[in-house]
Structure 1
Amino acid sequence: MPAAGQETSFLSGTVQDSHGDPLAGASILAQDLNKTTFTDSTGMFQMTVPFRESYTVVIQHIGYKKLVQKMTQKDLKRGNLVFPLHDDHTQLSEVQILGRTETQQAKLQPIKAEIINTKAVQEQPSTLVELMNRSAGIRIRQTGGLGSSSGLMMNGFQDRAIKNFRDGIPLDYLGAGYNISLVPVNMLERVEVYKGVLPTGLGADALGGAVNMVTKKALYRYAEASYEIASFNTHRASLNALYSDTTRHFFVGTDAFVNRSDNDYKVDVTVTDLETAARRPATVRLFHNQFTNYYAEAYGGLTNLRWADELRVGLTWFHINRQNQYGATMSQPFGASVSRQHSIIPTLRYRKRFGKLGIDQFLTASNIHTAQVDTVRGTYDWYGTFIPSPSRLGEISLRGSLSDIKFSYFTSRTHLSYQLAENHLAEVNVVSTNIGRTGRDPMGLTLPQTGQDILALPAKYYKVVGAAGIQSVFLNDKLTNNLIAKFFHYNTSTINVDIYGTALGEHRSTSENSFGIAEALKYAFTGNTFLRFSVEAATRLPEQDEMFGDGNFHRSNFLLKPEKSTNINLGFRTERRGAYTLEVNSFYRITKDLILKVPVDFLFTQNQNVENVKGLGFETDLSVSLNRWLRANGNFTYQDFRLFDTQNRQTEKARLRNTPYFFANLGLNGTINQVGNRGRMHLYYYFTFVREYYLNYVPKSLEPDGFLGLWGKAKFDAPNIIPNQGLHSAGFTYHPGGERFSIGFQAKNFLNARVYDNFRIQNAGRSLHLKLNYTLK
């Protein structure tokens, strides 16, 4: 590249792996200038630097050996420079929650982000839920086994207050077909977890942060397949394939996966004797809990053209079939009810950089169909025995259900960026979502005046979230500042239904505008030590499924109000390369009208507002290299969120219900090379602990007396207590020779501890998992 005048030059090129595939997210450091940039999705980078005769460039990426390259002005003028990185098997064998490359990326932004390196663990039979639960400050709670509903809790917020993204796009348009409990880790390059303030480019109405699942960015040719077999007749398979022509201007590919499980593990329940009506505890095996889902996406497009960096068209199909064993709690078993969901979803994405201006546009329009079948005339007990009841039309409810609901989605996401100056980047991000609901249920609710099927009446939801921000770097890259302003608008219209599912017949319309602002700072003392601070006045709008329900076990609530919160975050991180990494973070929240999912009427859940909640928390994460082949890591999180100004002596200062307040993780990872001459084995062990917490609000005076409530017993004995839980898992991955084929084995919860999760629903005990991976490049 020619020099810009005689004062500046442009360092540019493409970073590739040993197979010639571009590497996205590689860090490029101009060593003498202490300037850093990163490669884009095509592996390309560009950096403006002061004019010099030569430069020393250091290029790094997780899983690859560091490259140190000297470049002269003669090299720059040639252009089209390619920098190959070679595999580093030592890095690939480690589970790095915050890898070296992402640490360098954090030096350019003060926003807290943890990177879960799925590439390092894609050969393990681990789920994304398990990987995230091993991270500080994060708990994902499921309502059962594979495919069950999952809710994310992070730094005091939970469920929809934490937004989910795929490659920067909100995931709502994919319904239940693609989420953190279903997507195989093989599909992902990494997972970015943002805590507190979000980058402008995500720009969602989140209170507690976001999870961005970044798909694999290889843009040449490869095929990868995996198959996992496990306890409870569990089968998981995935296939990824991509073809690009030699000019790198055209590509086609596919991603597909299947999840299936009987989920027939043993649980502890209360059974009722039909003759004496006496109730007693019993251990039974679940008998109507099967889950199956299919997902397939075909995509293709054009890249590296004069008018487009990338134009991508995709078509996604998914189908879900779920047997319902129980509702929101395990108070009543079902033996025949099923739920289904399916959709075909087209997508379009266009990206281009015109000099200093960058454009990223995403569009999708789809219909997601959900159905619930509940037509058996009777009930089941926990042993699978059918009890006829001619007066019933369904087992879940007396009137039964044969619902068929269509949710129509139109989503547009527009992101613009402009490089105002070398150290100042301006961004604008606008996400608009238009959702409609129509349906039918011949056995369902009707309007009291006309008898009309309530699902036949359209319900509408529209939301737009706009964000504008500027990122600036000062003091020779030591001080980084992000200032972000946001605008929120939503409106809904529908027929109101009360918490018991009764059609009230009144038309309800809601509309609201709100604003938010966030400020995030980071000061780097050295290249490896920095302090991070952020403060935010945030708003989170109710989502359509929180207001409309999901057509299954989640009730509608059209009286739901937006939740608003003031959030403060303070963190410190330091690292000694190859020795240890230490991170400490603290956070404070004061929230009005917090939206919380709660059980109602034993079988159903509903989102309701909690007027006033405040609290603080802190988390610590430490990773240590014990020697060349063994690494240990551990973290813990404590959060104390309580109700205030409740005007109720029983709930004043009570902990937020159904919310863990202390949890911790320990892990060991080791690699043995030259197993059987050519082979390589990676061994690992993980321990997870969750302190007891409470299903409902408990007076503070009844909590344990131990320091911060971390030991001792609560001063009551009731099913409200979700007991202490300790989980041990261990496994290995083995490469017989080379990197193409691997075998992974894991024993999860090998001590068979009782594990409870959302609303005290019991999860599986001990399970064994075997996974085979094959990659062709």
Structure 2
Amino acid sequence: MRKLILILLLLPLYATSQQEAEKTHELSEVRVLHTGAATALRQSVQQVTVVDAKKYYSRPSGAIDILGQASGIRIRQDGGLGSRADFAVNGISGKQVKLFIDGIPASYFGAGASLNTLPVNTIDRLEIYKGVVPVHLGADALGGAINIVTRQQLSNYLEATYALSSFHTQRVTVNARYRLPRNVFVNTTAFYNYSRNNYGITAEVPNQFGNPVQQKVKRFHDRFSNYYTAVELGITGKKWADLASLTLNASGIGQQVQHNVVMTQPYGKVTYAEQVWNSFFKYNKYQVLPGVDVQLFGGAGYTRGHFIDTSFNAYAWDGTVVNRRSYGGEISSSRNNLLLHTINSVARLLLSYTPDTLTRISFNVTGTSFHRKGEDTVAAAFYGQDFYTSPTRMHKLVTGISAERHTPQRKWTSLTAIKWYYYSATGFTVENAVLQTASNRMGQWGAAQSFRHVFNPSLAARFSYEYATRLPDELEVFGDYALTKASPGLQPEKSHNLNLSAQYTRSHVRAEVTGFYRRLQDIIYLRTSQFFAKYQNLLQAQITGIEGECTLQPWPLLQFTGNATWQRILNKSRGSSSGTTDDRYYNLQLPNMPWLMGNAGLQYTQPHLFRRGNTLTCWYNAAYVHRFYLYWANDGRADQKATIPGQYIQQAGLSYTWLHNRYTASCEMQNLANARAYDNFNVQKPGRSIHLKLKVFIP
């Protein structure tokens, strides 16, 4: 540790005199005052992509839709609204990419507030960190993190939206803020989503002779609903606090489960429901001591989950019962009527010290706790005892310190960080109807270094490196007692991450090109079968790639956006780690991972149409993903390989706003060509759909 501190002190950027810093004090302050949050992030030393959600408020889009249009991002969903979604950032995917809401792990808020259910009108911006994850997030991510910054409008307002879409989909959102005397305020956020997800698919259905025949059918057991409501009571602008608030919220989901992981077996009665109640306290005080800012967050919550798999029926894809078993459910041999009780807690302390206008030192510590017990009388009758009453516990602690330094003219910026990750887990596994207790604990160091150099007002370059660690989460370690089995012996994933980028910015164009390199160890991989899945440490991999993005506005009314990503993800494991006794998979592209993708968008805005204060906006977007293999490329005949086909999905829409943004009506059509869409092998996504939205804003 002494050597690391000495290195920090001897960095060339830290040799600047205090006298030079004082000379630039006035200029530095002016720049900060005139820079918005999104622009400041883009100009920071962090390798970050910022998506401004405000320009999507009039569109009938969800948060997951706008995230999928960002550079280097690939979202893979299992179906329609509410279905499981994985996020890939520069080849780092799934749980290797951590999701946060206002800097707090999103898992604390429950499934009812996940990215694939959040309405865009509840969000201010999306911050997508690539390579180095900042200390203030307190993340154990492997090289990517997404921070959802929620809407924090200071003035009084009331906004309500209603969206109606294909497949019996409805979405309602209400946001409001009201300021009371003495700087007291009340914020309210509430939304509700519902969909039957009964879109058409092509599946094999037994004919009158019992032979499977491909037919066009509708998904018959995929209904999803969720709700979320939060009330924040707080105070601002006091001597003892710049912000102090208490938030109470409740959320929940109700979900029918349509099929197994690879969509080979339909289910007709399996369901999962979840309710979450939690509360949290926020406290911010700037200049609590000269140059010292403090931010505190603490919260606790309770989650009740209910998984039901008790039917003896076996279903076909048209919803008919084709068989009735004498024992076992649709998923498990025991059948399940499982109640899960979970207590979550999270606490964060963030300290920032700014001795002068060119230096900032930050310290963050984030701790999370997870405790779960269950009960299942149906499974207990089968096994002779109720295994699920045994508790599972997980505790995580992520600590980090960073030092950021600018040269006097801010040509160079340096950011150095050191992190410490720790977790402990105790739980159980059930093998051959025998319960076995299991536990694990470990700690891991991490470090990061980033530089940014400004060549001129239009051109800048960034370089970053991080030795990153991702700790296993509760689902990977303990499973979900249904589709995913427990794996208590999992080891953390580790990665060396390098990024090098160049940024070009002018009044009418913004462009960035980034090259990236990742070297991953002990990858936690979800191995699937027809009946269940299980996480394992399996592979080592190397990722190299390049991505580019551009925003061009040749005329004030017209804007073009585009991005593309190419990445090569190679297996660097030998022998049994790749599932074989030889090295025939060594240095091959990892299967089931997209390697070429891109997005393009065009938007036209016509202000003062028909009447002053009225605005018409039209847009068109297209997304492309090149086809890729489900299994290893050198296995099997070329004409018989299982392939996730190439995707070219288009959408277009228009919105009209009148009375100076008070009312907005919009219409959007997704998957214009009604293409057969896949993100995962054999798992069909919705075809063409129509989405309508009405927004009312009262200042």
TM-score by length of 2: 0.92
Deviation at 1:437, TM superposition (A): 1.2
Partner of 1:514: 444
Q: Cα gap change, 1:446/1:548 in structure 2, threshold over 3 Å: closer, same or farther?
A: farther
CA contact (8 A) 1:263 1:291 kept: yes
Deviations 1:721-740 (A, max 9, x none): 00011001000110133210
Q: Does 1:657 align with 2:591?
A: yes
CA contact (8 A) 2:20 2:408 kept: no
Partner of 1:684: 619
Q: Does 1:755 align with 2:677?
A: yes
Q: Does 1:420 align with 2:366?
A: no
Deviation at 1:336, TM superposition (A): 1.4
Deviations 1:665-717 (A, max 9, x none): 11111112232233310000001100011223332x88xxxxxxxxxxx9232
Deviations 1:189-224 (A, max 9, x none): 111111110122112111121111111111231110
Q: Give runs of aligned pairs for residues 567-582 of structure 1, distance below 5 A.
A: 567-578=497-508, 580-582=509-511
Deviation at 1:497, TM superposition (A): 3.6
Q: Does 1:669 align with 2:603?
A: yes
Deviation at 1:490, TM superposition (A): 0.7
Instruction: Choose from 109, 116, 126 the match for 1:191.
Output: 126
Q: Cα gap change, 1:377/1:496 in structure 2, threshold over 3 Å: closer, same or farther?
A: closer
Instruction: Choose from 597, 610, 617 the match for 2:545.
Output: 617
Q: Give the root-mean-square deviation of aligned CA atoms.
A: 2.2
Q: Does 1:724 align with 2:652?
A: no
Partner of 1:242: 177
CA contact (8 A) 1:341 1:369 kept: yes
Task: For 2:435 and 2:381, locate their aligned partners in 1 and report how far apart those are by CA, in whole Å.
Answer: 9
Q: Cα gap change, 1:378/1:364 in structure 2, threshold over 3 Å: closer, same or farther?
A: same
Deviation at 1:746, TM superposition (A): 0.2
Partner of 1:351: 284
Deviation at 1:616, TM superposition (A): 0.3
Instruction: Choose from 227, 240, 245 the match for 1:312.
Output: 245
Moved more, 380-389 or 157-166: 380-389
Deviations 1:137-170 (A, max 9, x none): 0011111100011111111111111111111111
Deviation at 1:526, TM superposition (A): 1.4
Any idea what SS the aligned residue of 1:506 has?
strand
Percent identical: 31
Partner of 1:638: 566
Partner of 1:79: none
Q: Does 1:469 align with 2:469?
A: no
Deviations 1:587-615 (A, max 9, x none): 1011111122342x324333222231112
Task: For 2:413 and 2:80, locate their aligned partners in 1 and report how far apart those are by CA, in whole Å.
Answer: 43
Deviation at 1:496, TM superposition (A): 2.3
Q: Give runs of aligned pairs for residues 532-571 of structure 1, distance below 5 A.
A: 532-571=462-501
Any idea what SS the aligned residue of 1:180 has?
coil
Task: For 2:269 and 2:238, locate their aligned partners in 1 and report how far apart those are by CA, in whole Å.
Answer: 55
CA contact (8 A) 1:339 1:552 kept: no
Task: For 2:480 and 2:390, locate their aligned partners in 1 and report how far apart those are by CA, in whole Å.
Answer: 16
Any idea what SS the aligned residue of 2:107 has?
helix
Q: Does 1:324 align with 2:257?
A: yes
Q: Does 1:627 align with 2:555?
A: yes
* Higher-RCO chain (CA-CA 8 Å, sequence separation at least 6): 2
AA partner of residue 462 (structure 2): R
Q: Cα gap change, 1:121/1:548 in structure 2, threshold over 3 Å: closer, same or farther?
A: same
Deviation at 1:575, TM superposition (A): 1.4
CA contact (8 A) 1:370 1:551 kept: no
Task: For 1:157 and 1:768, locate their aligned partners in 2 and report how far apart those are by CA, in whole Å.
Answer: 32
Q: State the 4+ residue runs in structure 1 displaced beyond 6 angstroms.
A: 7-10, 445-448
Instruction: Choose from 396, 412, 427 the match for 1:494.
Output: 427
Task: For 1:503 and 1:361, locate their aligned partners in 2 and report how far apart those are by CA, in whole Å.
Answer: 45
Deviation at 1:758, TM superposition (A): 3.0
Any idea what SS the aligned residue of 1:224 has?
strand
Any idea what SS the aligned residue of 2:489 has?
coil
Q: Does 1:380 align with 2:310?
A: no
Partner of 1:103: 39
Partner of 1:141: 76
CA contact (8 A) 2:644 2:680 kept: no
Q: Cα gap change, 1:431/1:734 in structure 2, threshold over 3 Å: closer, same or farther?
A: same
CA contact (8 A) 2:49 2:129 kept: yes
AA partner of residue 644 (structure 2): I
Q: Give runs of aligned pairs for residues 597-608 of structure 1, distance below 5 A.
A: 597-599=526-528, 601-608=529-536
Any idea what SS the aligned residue of 1:119 has?
helix
Q: Give runs of aligned pairs for residues 21-420 of structure 1, distance below 5 A.
A: 33=27, 38=32, 59=34, 61=36, 102-107=38-43, 109-247=44-182, 249-273=183-207, 275-276=209-210, 278-353=211-286, 354=288, 355-420=290-355
Partner of 1:83: none
Return 5+ residue gaps in structure 1 as ranges.
1-6, 11-28, 39-44, 46-58, 62-100, 703-713
CA contact (8 A) 2:284 2:295 kept: yes
Any idea what SS the aligned residue of 1:636 has?
strand
CA contact (8 A) 1:141 1:150 kept: yes
Task: For 1:311 and 1:736, locate their aligned partners in 2 and report how far apart those are by CA, in whole Å.
Answer: 37
AA partner of residue 565 (structure 1): S
Moved more, 233-242 or 167-176: 167-176
Partner of 1:589: 518
CA contact (8 A) 1:269 1:330 kept: no
Any idea what SS the aligned residue of 2:406 has?
strand
CA contact (8 A) 1:158 1:208 kept: no
Task: For 2:506 and 2:155, locate their aligned partners in 1 and report how far apart those are by CA, in whole Å.
Answer: 36
Q: How many residues align?
A: 672
Moved more, 351-360 or 550-559: 550-559
Q: Does 1:505 align with 2:435?
A: yes
Deviation at 1:504, TM superposition (A): 4.2
Task: For 1:529 and 1:219, locate their aligned partners in 2 and report how far apart those are by CA, in whole Å.
Answer: 34
Q: Cα gap change, 1:551/1:299 in structure 2, threshold over 3 Å: closer, same or farther?
A: farther
CA contact (8 A) 1:690 1:726 kept: yes
Deviations 1:555-585 (A, max 9, x none): 221122110111111111101212x211100
Deviation at 1:271, TM superposition (A): 3.0
Task: For 2:184 and 2:280, locate their aligned partners in 1 and report how far apart those are by CA, in whole Å.
Answer: 17
Deviation at 1:112, TM superposition (A): 1.0
CA contact (8 A) 1:291 1:323 kept: yes
Instruction: Choose from 659, 669, 679 the match for 1:737.
Output: 659
Partner of 2:9: none
Task: For 2:584 and 2:193, locate their aligned partners in 1 and report how far apart those are by CA, in whole Å.
Answer: 44
CA contact (8 A) 1:374 1:395 kept: yes
Deviations 1:213-243 (A, max 9, x none): 1111112311100000010010000001111
AA partner of residue 563 (structure 2): N
Partner of 2:4: none
Kindly indicate which of the two structures has a greater share of residues assigned to helix.
2
Any idea what SS the aligned residue of 2:398 has?
strand
Task: For 1:650 and 1:283, locate their aligned partners in 2 and report how far apart those are by CA, in whole Å.
Answer: 40
CA contact (8 A) 1:231 1:767 kept: yes
Deviation at 1:369, TM superposition (A): 1.1
CA contact (8 A) 2:606 2:615 kept: yes
